[in-house]
Chains A and B, each alone.
Chain A
Amino acid sequence: MSAGVSPKKYSQFAVSSDTTSVLRKHPAVHDAAAFRLSSDRDALVAFVVADDSYLDEVLGRNEAASHQVRKWRKTYDLTQLTKAAAASPFAFNIAGWNSSYTRQPLPQEDMREWIDTTVERISALTPRDVLEIGCGTGLLLLRLAPGCQRYAGMDFAPSVLTRLREQLAQRADLGGKVELLERSADNFDGFADNSFSTVIVNSVAQHFPSQAYLDRVMENAIRVVQPSGHVFIGDQRSLLLLQAQAASVEAFQATPEVNAAELRDRIHKRIQQEQQLVLSPAYFLSLAQRFPKISRVEIYPRRGNRDNEMTRFRFDAILWIGPESTPRIEIPFLDPPPQGWNRDNMRRLLAAGKSEGIGLARIANSRVARDLRLLAQLASADQQQPLSDLQNELNHAEAEGIHPEEIIRLAAAAGYKAILSWASCCPDGSYDAAFVGAGSWAGRAFPAINWPRPSRAAYVHHSNAPGQSEIREKLRQELLAHCRVKLRDVAVPTILHLVDSLPHTGDGGVDFDALLSVTQTAAGSL
């Protein structure tokens, strides 16, 4: 339970101590805060962080989670019973990797780039003793294991491991160093503390049933990694872009005559029925506060020139374990000019550059610009306006933003190394870039940069809650009923948000300004 809430008065709201106190006494509540908006005296907004064990045991989340894991296991098993899986070339069994847009297998070129960029990033961490959670058909394992001393691959789907064993049989040289284990991702039985240099969780966490499950995996992953090692969580879907992704896929699948109201409805439904765990980069940043063993967290957009859902909407998070050994590069970060960053103003800056480097904050991201513009159009479109009209406008709109790979090329041409980050958690997919001179980065693959940090509000929602809408609604109703019994009608919340954490100010109190901004963002979304 966090520090108390004083009944302070703010200009835009008044803290409601009674409601907060009553909510905090309910066993399902880990923490809570409530306030009344000055702009609407009837609106009493409560934020509640639910107690994990209450959700798991009393409301049955554990059971729902087990069911969800069984479903995913079966899904992956089925992919390996197909003819495509049986006929896969060595180290390229991509059966089951389907596009959300077309529902067809992703193009091989996309998958090759996805594998290459992932292997390159992990290799730069110089892994020696690896534990890969969810090794699947070995797309990473078969490429990384030759350079390692030991490689343990875990997967929960028996058919997947059978296929991988068939492939491993073709590489006698790997037999002695690779061990395959059929087990769930949260089963770390037998793994001692500090026993691996690298834990890899690549494109797997989205199949975890809840954030609580991911918490267990992360806690153990951090425990088993040695000082100076890493936890690599790759290809993670971003919660900040969930709405943009849903809009993008629904618009792709809709026929041109579908109108704006129907499209909005489909986007809502897709988000509501999302089966995968989708996380904000803020979740991984917050791990550094919980685990002293972590010295640094980096959030990188995916590398790649191919245009697909992985490059648009996903990121890699890397946790540095043990004391930080890389000197931090301190560079000034510039806010974007009114017209935003573009090739011209960026080139000028780089040409006049400083030897230690320079940082540019919030570069609009061309990978998702069209999807974001569609969302903006939908927010203001007439109900009956057909999608064909909206797409017509999109096709004639000026191209926005800069592609992350282009930034890297621009920097190289000017004699800099560019490192890109999503650590500031901008909700519009924009990214920060550090342009570091050769002398400063000294050949390091992952220079430590003083990245702009996210606002406290970014930590309020870490994740969606796939498959938990019924449980969460039940909890919400239970808490409101509890308030009706214990409070006067006027003190019962009119809006009750279930959140992942409450933001706190430097003195330990609840940061109500940050909560207010969350309320405003929610009101302004589609």
Chain B
Amino acid sequence: MDHKSMIRQFLQRLLAQKGDQRPFGDSDSLLLSGRLQSVDAVELVVFLEEQWGIDFAEIGFDETQIDTVDAVDVLVQNAGVRK
């Protein structure tokens, strides 16, 4: 499975846990729109740290970095470049 599909699948699971089965596009806001809360964002952050070794203490954190599938994908790609 490619990066983007993995990210999408993870976000889908987070939303489903909240009873949110609505579809979402790669550029749809999930965090800033309120579909996911800050504690859900933490689950995503831990997933990114564990899966791709992204270190937010090093790169800094901003909710826009993980607001959409596309934004998360950019983070993952950049992590690959840094490695």
Interfacial residues, chain A to chain B (CB-CB below 8 A): 71-72, 74-75, 78-79, 81-83, 98, 103, 159, 253, 269, 273, 275
- Interfacial residues of chain B within 38-82, with CB under 8 A of chain A in the complex: 38-39, 41-43, 45-46, 56-57, 60-62
Question: Which 9 pairs from chain A and chain B are nearest by CB?
Answer: A81-B61, A74-B42, A78-B61, A71-B42, A75-B42, A275-B39, A71-B39, A81-B56, A81-B60
Contact present for A78 and B42 (CB under 8 Å): yes
B32 to chain A, nearest CB (A): 7
B37 partner residues in chain A, CB cutoff 8 A? 275
Contact present for A103 and B19 (CB under 8 Å): no
Q: Which of A74, A83, A98 contacts B45 (CB 8 A)?
A: A74
The reply on B34 being an interface residue by CB < 8 A is yes
Contact present for A72 and B39 (CB under 8 Å): yes
Contact present for A103 and B62 (CB under 8 Å): no
> By DSSP majority rule, is chain A's interface helix, strand, loop, or mixed?
helix
B43 partner residues in chain A, CB cutoff 8 A? 71
- Measured CA separation A253–B33 after assembly (Å): 10
- The chain B residue with its CB closest to the CB of A273 is B18
A-B Cβ contacts below 8 A, count: 38
* 13 A-B pairs (CB sep. < 8 Å): A75-B38, A75-B39, A78-B41, A78-B42, A79-B61, A81-B57, A81-B60, A82-B60, A82-B62, A103-B34, A253-B34, A273-B18, A273-B19
- The chain B residue with its CB closest to the CB of A86 is B60
Contact present for B57 and A159 (CB under 8 Å): yes
B34 partner residues in chain A, CB cutoff 8 A? 103, 253
Contact present for B38 and A83 (CB under 8 Å): no
B47 to chain A, nearest CB (A): 12
A11 to chain B, nearest CB (A): 42
Given contacts A71-B42, A74-B46, A275-B39, 5 further A-B contacts (CB under 8 A): A75-B38, A78-B42, A81-B57, A82-B60, A269-B19
Contact with A along B10-26 (1 / 0, CB 8 A): 00000000110000000
A72 partner residues in chain B, CB cutoff 8 A? 39
A522 to chain B, nearest CB (A): 22
